[in-house]
Amino acid sequence: MRLNSIKAPAGARSPRHRVGRGIGSGWGKTAGRGHKGQRARAGGYHKIGFEGGQMPLHRRLPKRGFKSLSRRFVVTVRLGDLERLQAEQIDLAVLKQAGLAPDLALSARIVRTGQIKRRITVQGLGVTAGARAAIEAAGGSVAG
């Protein structure tokens, strides 16, 4: 087999419909647009979800859930990442300096993923219950 001899199997590709090219083509006269109406006109269409004035489905259904606008400004940090840091006092500025939090981050939350074996002091950050227990078991403390 050669790359220049590869072809699609018979029937896999059909020629495109050239609409509005005479009655013999099968797509003449209305060119697949039907008779009259908004969709038959040039430039006549409506926005996505429009149902002819009927209350659209996306407005008939109840609102559900919540999407936090500040979620992207709260970063999640793992305990294993804190183990690699040299600092003993850990706050948001230290995390930003180490590259564990982006500059736009407004706060951070420490989760219990990985292990910590040295003593650290966490200030002004959110800490999960498991992470707090692990930090205190290693002799560290969590403040505010």
Q: Rounded to whole angstroms, how far apart are CA atoms 99 and 95?
A: 6
Does residue 144 surpass a pLDDT of 80?
no
Tokens of 98: 């180490």
Q: Report angle CA 104, 88, 97 to the nearest 5 degrees.
A: 25
- pLDDT, tens digit, for every residue of 63-93? 999 988 888 899 999 999 999 998 999 999 9
Q: Rounded to whole angstroms, how far apart are CA atoms 128 and 102?
A: 21
Tokens of 114: 């990985």
The highest-level CATH class for domain 72-143 is alpha beta
- pLDDT, tens digit, for every residue of 29-76? 999 999 998 889 998 888 899 998 999 999 999 999 998 888 889 999
Annotate 80-112 with DSSP letters as a single string.
HHHHH---SEE-HHHHHHHTSS-TT--EEEEE-
Tokens of 37: 């109406």
